[in-house]
Amino acid sequence: MRYTITDYTMILNTIIALIIAITIHEFSHALMADKLGDPTPRASGRLTLNPLAHLDPIGTIMLFIAHFGWGKPVPIDPYNLKNPRRDEMLISLAGPVSNLIVAVIFTLLFKFFAFNLFISIVVINLGLAIFNLLPFYPLDGSHIFPDLFPKATGQIILIFMILPLFNGNSLISSLISPVISFCLKLLSFL
């Protein structure tokens, strides 16, 4: 198979967009925890926009092999939080919300500077936000909706949903793709 310059550009745009999305997402968890009184992320070097602090080597490689990966989870200590249940929910929500904000910002930037990289950043940030809002452990949604699924059950459901089906797509992809498309249509009105 021969690759064209366009193929390489698309791959590079995807890599850059993934690095930006994961870094902003994990940094936002760390920043929210810090603002809510937990020094653990700062002490562990996670209160930074340096991607190396947030990218998990295996999770990053898996993004390209299995089209599913992860960043390093931000460590927090609930004993440092004034209202642990509420604050853990806010910390978890910070990642997906930051990805939605980035998607809005780069949608507006694309209207002025029509770089294809900006579209990649928008799509990947939307995908990461929507995926992480699912209520299955260890995703952020499991902390936002903690009583919806028990931890072990949520993990099993998530694994099942990530596995490819007969058509090559995963159930998760089939579920969140229409939501991403809907959000892209909404963003097109900005």
List, by residue number, the catalytic residues: 26
* Structure tokens that stand for 23 in this block: 């870094």
Number of Cβ atoms within 10 Å of the Cβ of 146: 17
User: Rounded CA gap, 113 and 99, in Å?
Assistant: 20
- Integer angstrom CA distances of residue 74 from 92, 141, 163, 174: 10, 15, 26, 28
Closest Cα partner for 100 from 28, 170, 52?
Answer: 28
Query: In this structure, are residues 145 and 85 in contact, taking their beta carbons and an 8 Å threshold?
Result: no
